[in-house]
Amino acid sequence: MTEQEIKILLDKYYKGLTSLEEEGQIKSFFRATDFSDELASDKNLMSLVTSGQAFSPQAKFEFDEKIKAELLKERTDTRKIYWQWSLRGAAAVIFLLASFWLGRISSQSNQKEYLQLQAQVSKMNTELIRTNLRLTSPSDRIKGVQYSYELNSLSNDIIDELAHTLNNDENVNVRLAAGNALFQFAHNEKTKKTLIESINKQNQHPLIQISLINMMFALNEKTAFENIKEAIQNENLPFEDRQRIQKELNSQSRSL
Amino acid sequence: MKKFLILAVCFLTSTFCFSQEFTKTVSSKVQLIIIRDGHGAFQIEGHNKQEIIIKATGIQHNSKGKGLTPLYSGGSDTGIGLTMNETGEVIEFTGLPRQGNQSYHILVPENINIKAEWRNHDSQKLLRISNLKSSLEVHRINGKMDISNITGPLVLYSMHGETKIRFSEINHNRPISISSYNADIEIELEAATKASLEMSSGRGEIYTDFEIKRTPSNKKTEEERIITGTINGGGVKIILQSYAGNFYLKKY
């Protein structure tokens, strides 16, 4: 396979349109072929992102441990991080991330640098969320949402990204994943408001609507009650479930 | 008897039933085939040819519409109760309304991604999907589904329709996500499948014969009923979520 052909396949991959066979061809290409520097970042993306290991909890833990170890080695070089805001950019970001594993890190203020690196990892995860949410495959978009679980907090723009996904994605499971992800950060007022406002945007999707309602019941969130009352009128929700919601609403209202 | 004969003649002058086949060669640039809102029973099956073959039986072809464009459905009328739209990387088939009791057997290239989407509530007929080595996305409100010999990644939602899914070897790392409102869903995996599971059913139950190594979840769910764990050491992410349906996760 020529580099030109692999570039076409990579373009398809970044659009989420490759078949498993084509992804196998890409992986085989990088395993077996000498290629130009131009494709180096793509190789790292394929080996890290498509393996599903890049930011799994275990991988992140291992990554953090490697960073710590490298900080202790008192090496004396630094690398610049730059950000690209495209799918190709994600590949470059992963490449840079991988490069950290080789570690060339200043020894002057280890703890400070470790915290900085953690922040950078968080930024990379943020970028991966943004990147994956734009892919056409729902499986890839779910993967994007799941990167948010690696974050300690959500920035406003990621809350907006996830809110947009929750309210507009054409796939129920992707919306559901976005709702579940936002719920992890429901202590944040903006996130909580997003979830509450979304309840009545899900009239065509009973599973998501009832999931959001149950989140609010779990939080005992009184400010959601008006939205829940409105949702009870949604005839797409089975009658017996609307009755159950009404009962729970009455119960929680009495405890006010 | 006379009334019956008159009705039969009237019916046959406007519509007639027959079996029919539609074939389309699929170019190499096509990446996704969408089958949407069809009426009747559907069987979607992968094959190793680069063409779509639709075998339809029981078609009530409306001769009044012959040669005309269906404006709501759009695209071109295939003559078998489906319209076809082709836009670059996507070929889309949509069911025409007010169709009869037909059934379709659709052969598709096994490596092209498939999206099967039924958003109408009145489709109760069985949907079968099999032999796919590509990404599969399914959305259905009612009606049973039987899905077999697929690799995924699969992203499936069944609101009410009982669903059975049997995976062949899973050789990718993209998440598999299966959800339902109150439909029971049976999932069969090869016994040696390596997977990381995330499962919850608010008011249903989850049954399995896999040995799950439970891992504590740091995720919050609305009813704290999430079960996380791994089988065979962990691997592909499998997410199961239902409001009131049961999951049956079985090995074979």
Domain housing B120: 15-150
**Best mutation target, A60, A180, A202, to test chain B (most B CBs within 10 A):** A180
pLDDT of residue A75: 32
Judged by CB atoms closer than 8 Å, whether chains meet at B175 and A17 is answered as no
pLDDT at res. A203: 95
| Cβ–Cβ under 8 Å, residues A148 and A133 | no
**pLDDT confidence band for A8 (50 / 70 / 90):** confident
Walk along chain B (252 residues) in steps of 10 and give the mean pLDDT of each run.
51 54 93 92 96 90 70 80 89 82 93 93 89 96 96 96 96 93 97 96 95 81 78 96 97 96
Whether residue A34 is predicted with pLDDT greater than 90 in this model: the reply is no
Chain A CB within 8 Å of residue B222 CB: yes
The nearest alpha carbon in chain B to A17 belongs to: B31
Give which of B59, B56, B48 is closest to B22, Cα–Cα. Answer: B56
The chain A residue lying nearest B178, using CA atoms, is A173
Specify the pLDDT at position B99: 64
Using DSSP's 3-state secondary structure scheme, residue B202 falls into coil
Tell me how far apart the alpha carbons of residues A161 and A102 are, in angstroms, rounded to a whole number: 32
Inter-chain residue contact A207 with B139, CB threshold 8 Å: no
CB of B243 within 8 A of CB of A207?
A: yes
For residue B2, tell me if it sits in a domain. Answer: no
Is the CB of residue A172 less than 8 Å away from at least one CB of chain B?
yes
- CA-CA distance, B85 to B69, in Å (whole number)? 12
Nearest to B141 by CA among B162, B159, B125, B127: B159
Burial environment of residue A131 by CB neighbours within 10 A (0 to 12, 13 to 18, 19 or more) = buried
Q: Does B226 touch chain A (CB under 8 A)?
A: no
* A17, A184, A206 ranked by CB distance to B181: nearest: A206
Strand partners, B87: B90
Give yes or no for a contact between B201 and A194, defined as CB atoms under 8 angstroms apart. Answer: no
| pLDDT computed for residue A96 by the predictor | 54
Instruction: Please check whether residue B44 lies inside any domain of the structure.
Output: yes
B interface mutation test: which of A172, A198, A247 has the most B CBs within 10 A?
A172
Query: Of B95, B93, B105, B116, which is closest to residue B41 (Cα–Cα)?
Result: B105
Closest residue of A to B113, CA-based?
A19
How close is the nearest chain B Cα to the Cα of A237, in Å?
10
Q: Do the domain assignments include residue B74?
A: yes
For B157, which of A172, A183, A215 is closest by C-beta distance?
Answer: A172
Cβ neighbours for A148, distance < 8 A, ≥ 6 positions apart: A125, A129, A154, A158, A162, A181, A184
Structural domain contains residue B71: yes
**DSSP classification of residue A56:** S
Q: At what angle do helices A110-132 and A138-146 cross, to 10 degrees?
A: 160
DSSP string, A152-208: SS--HHHHHHHHHHHHH-S-HHHHHHHHHHHHTTTTSHHHHHHHHHHGGG-TT-HHH
Contacts of A182 (CB under 8 A, 6+ apart): A154, A159, A162, A163, A166, A191, A194, A195
Residues of B in contact with A176 (CB under 8 A): 179, 241
Would you say residue B73 lies in a domain?
yes
Residues of A in contact with B173 (CB under 8 A): 50-53
pLDDT of the residue at A52 = 42
Q: CA–CA separation, A154 vs A90, rounded Å?
A: 19
pLDDT per residue as tens digits for the range A40-97 = 666 655 554 444 444 444 444 444 444 444 444 433 332 322 233 344 455 445 545 5
Q: Over the stretch A208-233, which tens digit does the pLDDT of each residue have?
A: 999 999 999 999 999 999 999 999 99
CA distance linking residue A158 with residue A188, whole number of Å: 13
Strand partners, A143: none
Give the pLDDT mean for A89-115: 55
Residue B155 in domain: no
Q: Are B166 and B227 in contact (CB under 8 A)?
A: no
Q: What's the pLDDT score for residue B155?
A: 98
Q: For residue B222, give how far its alpha carbon lies from the nearest alpha carbon of chain A (Å).
A: 4
Please report the pLDDT score of residue A42 as a whole number: 64
Report d(CA A248, CA A243) in Å as an integer: 9
- Substitution target in A5, A58, A207 with the highest count of B β-carbons within 10 Å is A207
Per the listing, tokens 């099956």 go with: B45
Using only C-alpha atoms, chain A has a radius of gyration, in whole angstroms, of 22
Q: How confident is the model at residue A251 (pLDDT cuts 50, 70, 90)?
A: very high
Total domains in chain B come to 1
- Residue A79's nearest CA partner among A104, A98, A45 is A104
- Contacts of residue B176 in chain A, CB cutoff 8 Å? 139
B212 φ/ψ angles, rounded to the nearest 5 degrees:
-100, 125
The predicted pLDDT at position A24 comes to: 74
For residue B231, being part of any structural domain is answered with no
> Judged by CB atoms within 8 Å, which residues 184-203 of B form the interface with A?
202
Distance CA B200, CA B42 (A): 30
- Cα distances (angstroms) measured from residue A216 to each of A186, A198, A225: 10, 12, 8
**pLDDT tens for residues A123-172?**
777 888 888 888 889 999 999 999 888 888 888 989 999 999 999 999 99
- Give the C-alpha distances (Å, rounded to integers) separating B34 from A23, A30, A155, B75, B151: 21, 32, 36, 13, 18
Contact B171, B135 (CB under 8 A): no
Residues of A in contact with B244 (CB under 8 A): 241
Q: Tell me the average pLDDT across A27-48.
A: 67
Residue A237 pLDDT > 70: yes
Of the CA atoms within 13 Å of residue B41, those in its CB half-sphere come to 11
| Out of B89, B133, B222, closest to residue A214 by CB | B222
So where are chain A's domains? Answer: 153-256
Of A138, A171, A207, Cβ closest to residue B243: A207
pLDDT for res B60: 72
